Amino acid sequence: MNTRQSIVIFLCLLTLVSCQQKQMAVVEVSNSWDITHENSPVGLPWSDIIANMPAAKPDNIVLVNAQTGEEVAHQVCYHGEPVPAGLFFQVTLKPKESIKIFIKEGKPKQEVVYKTFGRFVPERKDDYAWENDRIAFRMFGPALAPENPSNGVDLWLKRTENLIVDKFYFDDLNNNKSYHVDHGEGLDCYRVGPALGAGGISPFVDDVLWVGKHFTSHETLDNGPLLTSFRLKYDNNLRVGDKFFSKEITIYIEAGSQFNTAVVKFDGDFSEIEVAAGIFLHDDPGNMRYSVEDGYTAFGEIATSDAGVPAGRNYIATVFPPWTTMSRVLIQQNHLLAIAPYKKGDELMYFFGGGWSKWGFETDEKWFDHVAAFAQRLRMPLSVAISGGLD
């Protein structure tokens, strides 16, 4: 056998071995800042996965920490479509720390625990309710129209990692066990009223906050285990002066976070307006902190059940990311308002969330510090790179 034949055989063997190896993708997530990113979300478009791992199937991938060999919990998201839209997982990184994660073919050894959930609740006057392992919320639908509900956000306080939305509704409707009273896992003691409640958003035109009515339609996009998302539409029911605007809001809640991500679009007879993300102040002046520079408003007040039993303090906040301009903060119409400019056709992103003194935030200062740290992380994001490889 001559040298040339030996080289050809060697290359053929090398090709055969390479073909037998499975494809994988390598994701490197880096924290270049002097802050800790705890349980921070990482989202990758599914097109990026396919570009680096063409054989990837949404039901046959596993994520592995390259350093420890441990599996990383993940979710393939569809965003209401029949084909995958993206891959979602979470990481914790200390200052200046990086992590490599392998995406491989295979099945996870353990099922991911469901930590987020949401659904339309027709048995309770068309609520849309959602939660994660930290907090819960709801917004109001058409069946509540005779009671003139707002487009505000209702806050449910939790002190359990268990998902409680279905349980609370079932017990309230069937077992005479009101979710307005704390039975050990939390309660709904928040009053939305004709207001934006715990972080809703509406037009702010002619120096007036125009609070809207109930949503007119709903669509669940993804439903756990780590991320739940849904879309609510308000078709021509936001009165602004003598005109009526429409609103579409898509809300995402991820495991472990006190905050929702909201993406909002307004439509109507305008080209540019201002909008306001608001916190209803009730009758309690409460305690507040805000920063236009850092893009947040935060509030704490007394929480009292419908039975008149003190329930500690509840907390609310709104946060604008650095790519959404907060122009100013106002206290008006019994709201703490974060004002932002809005151009017709744009998508505006902001965050709203809440907490409780009986679970994780024993003082107002702890809540305010948590909100400020969340806003800081938005301004100091993780960097993510993906490449292909062979296992």
Residue 244, C-beta contacts closer than 8 angstroms, at least 6 positions apart: 236, 237, 238, 268
The tally of CA atoms less than 13 A away on the side-chain side of residue 118 is 32
Q: How far apart are CA 167 and CA 91, in angstroms?
A: 30
Q: How far apart are CA 62 and CA 51, in angstroms?
A: 17
Ranges of residues in the chain whose predicted pLDDT is under 70: 1-21
Q: What is the 3-state secondary structure (H, E, C) of the chain?
A: CCHHHHHHHHHHHHHHHHHHCCEEEEEEEECCCCCCEEEEEEEEEHHHHHHHCCCCCCCCEEEEECCCCCECCEEEECCCCCCCCEEEEEEEECCCCEEEEEEEECCCCCCCCCCEEEEEEHHHCCEEEEEECCCEEEECCHHHHHHCCCCCEEEEEECCCCCCHHHHHHHHHHCCCCCCCCCCCEECCCCCCCCCEEEEEEEEECCEECCCCCCCEEEEEEECCCEEEEEEEEEEEEEECCEEEEEEEEEEEECCCCEEEEEEEEECCCCEEEEEEEEECCCCCCEEEEECCCCEEEEEEEEECCCCCEEEEEEEEEECCCCCCCCEEEEECCEEEEEEEEECCCCEEEEEEEEECCEECCCHHHHHHHHHHHHHHHHCCCEEEEEEEEC
**CA 317-257-190 angle, 5° bins:** 45
Q: Which of 155, 166, 178, 46 is nearest to 103 (CA)?
A: 46
DSSP string, 308-320: S-EEEEEEEEEE-
pLDDT at 21: 57
pLDDT at 1: 52
The correct answer on CATH 2.60.120 for the domain covering 116-360 is no
Superfamily of domain 3-109+382-390: Golgi alpha-mannosidase II (2.60.40.1180)
> Hey, is 116 helix, strand or coil?
strand
Residues, the chain: 391
Residue type, 253: I
Q: Where are the domains of the chain?
A: 3-109+382-390, 116-360
